[in-house]
Amino acid sequence: MKENPKPVARLVVENGCGFNFALNCRHCTDAKCVKSCITGAMYRDPETGYIVNNPEKCIGCWTCVLACPFGAIMRDTSDKKVVAKCDLCAEVGTPACVANCPNRALIMVEEDDEQ
């Protein structure tokens, strides 16, 4: 399954400082990106609880980029300028990064609400 244009990575791999780690959206309880979104494109899916972006409404103002304390929101400037972020591949099931990580360094864990 190849997409054209090539989709923007929805996670950041940080390296330097002698270690590497992959960073994706934290799907925060207190989601600053949702609160700061000027169009209402960024929202919490009431069913999954994941933070998702509606590309039809997104205007690419990058206020969420300004607000996200993790720097986990990417800019997709390939076509219409919209936000690209991890949606945990909710429509597919297993996140693509987890399915394809050759070293099995990425795993998907669901935490209980109480934790």
Question: What does the binding site for other proteins look like in residue numbers (CB under 8 A)?
Answer: 12, 14-17, 19, 21, 23, 26, 32, 35-36, 38-40, 56-57, 59-71, 73-75, 77, 81
Closest CA to 34 of 54, 10, 8: 54
What CA–CA distance (Å, rounded) separates 115 from 108?
A: 16
Per DSSP, what are the bridge partners of residue 53? 42
Question: Is the Cβ of residue 48 or residue 77 nearer to other proteins in the bound state?
Answer: 77
CB of 83 to other proteins, least distance (A): 12
Q: What angle do CA 8, 48, 66 make, to 5 degrees?
A: 45
What CA–CA distance (Å, rounded) separates 45 from 14?
A: 28
Question: Is the Cβ of residue 23 or residue 92 nearer to other proteins in the bound state?
Answer: 23
CB of 110 to other proteins, least distance (A): 15
CB of 60 to other proteins, least distance (A): 6
